[in-house]
Amino acid sequence: EPEVTQTPSHQVTQMGQEVILRCVPISNHLYFYWYRQILGQKVEFLVSFYNNEISEKSEIFDDQFSVERPDGSNFTLKIRSTKLEDSAMYFCASSTNRQGEQYFGPGTRLTVT
Amino acid sequence: AQSVTQPDIHITVSEGASLELRCNYSYGATPYLFWYVQSPGQGLQLLLKYFSGDTLVQGIKGFEAEFKRSQSSFNLRKPSVHWSDAAEYFCAVGARMGSGGGADGLTFGKGTHLIIQP
């Protein structure tokens, strides 16, 4: 069964450093998403992406964040200058259509020290 | 903006007993609704979804949920829980947008932690 994959599973970085989180969505999906979950809290929507551009973004997704689909398979989330409060689990998801069920990857745990 | 409330932070159920997890949403129109399950250290797995039509929807692992418009609820049920059902359960709502492109982010509740007693 096809699934969303994410790398790395765990990333430790120092405050102020740039990080890139990578995702490979399910191959025939067209809509892509990033969410985050701070430890012990709910899953929060960051951004959605379709047709090579951002569709929707939340208040969390400020200028420090960017997304890219550099090739036909990868979907990345970049944080330019990490802050302690960026420590969270980051989930990538994809769907076949804009209101279809979203399939989530296993997540990348980002720890900013 | 839409919101989701899961009033129960923790629920403890004996193995074999029935289960109901509550979810209430706030949205100006009929939303589309999901339940996801998250086991420790794992990602989110979709249990079931409601888009339209029959208000009682069946999902995987023997779960079902009922959409009640009058109560703005989408409660998750299972007639007999198994120890493997212990996990975090999230209700989520998506907005029905107009025609055109774009992708809709989901709004999640805070989750209900399900504990199964032997």
What would the pLDDT profile of B3-25 be if each residue is shown by its tens digit?
A: 899 999 999 999 999 999 999 99
User: Does domain A5-112 correspond to CATH entry 2.60.40.10?
Assistant: yes
- CATH code for the domain in which residue B102 is found: 2.60.40.10
Contact residues, chain B, for A35 at CB < 8 Å: 105-106, 108
What is d(CA B91, CA B75) in angstroms, rounded to the nearest whole number? 9
Q: How far is CA B114 from CA A111, B10, B33, in A?
A: 27, 6, 20
Backbone angles phi, psi at B83, to 5 degrees: -55, -30
Of A32, A35, A42, the CB nearest to B110: A42
Give the position of tokens 């899961």: B6
Contact residues, chain B, for A93 at CB < 8 Å: 44
What would the pLDDT profile of A65-102 be if each residue is shown by its tens digit?
A: 999 998 878 999 999 999 999 999 999 999 998 777 89
- pLDDT < 70 positions in chain B: 96-103
Q: How far is CA A103 from CA A64, B41, B52, B91, in A?
A: 26, 16, 20, 15
Contact residues, chain A, for B90 at CB < 8 Å: 42-43
Of B96, B101, B106, the CB nearest to A102: B106
Domain enclosing residue B106, as ranges: 3-117
Domain count, chain B: 1
